[in-house]
């Protein structure tokens, strides 16, 4: 059983959803980003998404675009991202780590070699925002061979006809993008999220996590009542940005993660 499957089985036994946290690898520099990554599990993150810094993150809003820019300016790279995961695994063998980003760097690395190198570093899942389901076969077989889950994105526009195509290669969990837009901007109505999660579950037995637009513990708790996980990225990245160069560069984002975790853990009580 994969680390992701083990984590969702554990959470199901505890009758609670996952808190899935996102940061960009190398933001604002390698040391700060590594310290933040390493501190996430103790703060309450159940699953961690690590953004692969990229020059044209077209699905991301200003907060994560700026984070990618800071990481690249500080020397961030795909290689450094894998090195961060490898360092994390020296102290944490249980928390699933998912890389999230765009296909160009993976394609340039070579799909087969990237899958093998990511697995060796300790990566459990991969989200490629701009790889259409119809072209996923050039990557997914290598991920399966390496034991890495391919986590797909569904959106409010993924209707019942489209969902089977989107979910064809899915494993690990399904990431529901709750707004038709970029990260960290608008928030979806809870009723729309409830309906979408129920509809996705009619098409798959995989856990369904919801992200894009979740900014605080109350929103995370609302999502955690109906979904298998709440994904928070821009809010954490924004707190980090507000504290760059200050003593709270690591502690302030981790304090938010702790608050979010409390919201998620109390959602079904």
Beta bridge partners, 175, equal 153, 209
> Token digits for 13?
């036994």
Q: Is 112 a catalytic residue?
A: no
* DSSP3 helix / strand / coil % (the chain, rounded to 5): 50, 15, 35
Q: Is 228 a catalytic residue?
A: no
Active-site residue, selected from the candidate residues 27, 46, 60, 228: 60
**H or E segment at 24?**
strand 18-24
Helix, coil or strand: residue 30: helix
3-state secondary structure of 176: strand
E strands within 72-173?
97-101, 125-128, 149-150, 152-154
Q: From CA 166, how far away is CA 157, in angstroms rounded?
A: 12
Number of continuous H segments (helices) and E segments (strands) in the chain: 12, 9
Long-range pairs of 146-151 with CB within 8 A, sequence gap ≥ 24:
146/115, 146/116, 146/118, 146/119, 147/2, 147/119, 148/115, 148/118, 148/119, 148/123, 148/124, 149/2, 149/4, 149/98, 149/124, 149/125, 149/173, 150/125, 150/126, 151/98, 151/125, 151/126, 151/127, 151/175
Q: Exactly one of 46, 49, 149, 222 is catalytic; name it.
A: 49
How far is Cα 259 from Cα 160, in angstroms, rounded to an integer? 36
**Residues designated as active site:** 49, 60
């Amino acid at each position: 059983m994969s680390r992701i499957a083990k984590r969702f089985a554990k959470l199901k036994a505890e009758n609670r959803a996952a808190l899935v946290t996102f940061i960009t690898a190398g933001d604002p520099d390698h040391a700060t980003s590594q310290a933040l990554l390493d501190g996430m599990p103790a703060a309450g993150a159940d699953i961690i998404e690590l953004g692969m810094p990229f020059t044209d993150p077209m699905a991301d809003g200003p907060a994560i675009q700026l984070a990618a820019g800071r990481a690249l300016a500080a020397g961030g790279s795909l290689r450094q991202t894998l090195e961060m995961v490898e360092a994390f695994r020296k102290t944490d063998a249980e928390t699933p780590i998912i890389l999230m980003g765009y296909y160009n760097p993976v394609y340039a690395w070579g799909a087969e070699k990237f899958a093998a190198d990511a697995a060796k570093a300790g990566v459990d899942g991969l989200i490629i925002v701009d790889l259409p389901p119809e072209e996923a076969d050039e990557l997914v077989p290598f991920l399966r061979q390496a034991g890495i889950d391919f986590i797909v994105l569904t959106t409010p526009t993924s209707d019942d006809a489209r969902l089977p195509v989107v979910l064809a290669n899915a494993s690990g969990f399904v990431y529901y993008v709750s707004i038709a837009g970029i990260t960290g901007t608008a928030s979806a109505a809870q009723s729309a999220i409830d309906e979408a999660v129920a509809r996705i579950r009619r098409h798959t037995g995989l856990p369904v996590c919801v992200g894009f637009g979740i900014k605080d513990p109350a929103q995370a708790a609302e999502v955690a009542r109906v979904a298998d996980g709440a994904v928070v990225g821009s809010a954490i990245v924004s707190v980090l940005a507000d504290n760059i160069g200050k003593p709270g560069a690591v502690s302030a984002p981790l304090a938010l993660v702790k608050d979010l975790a409390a919201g998620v853990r109390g959602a079904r009580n």
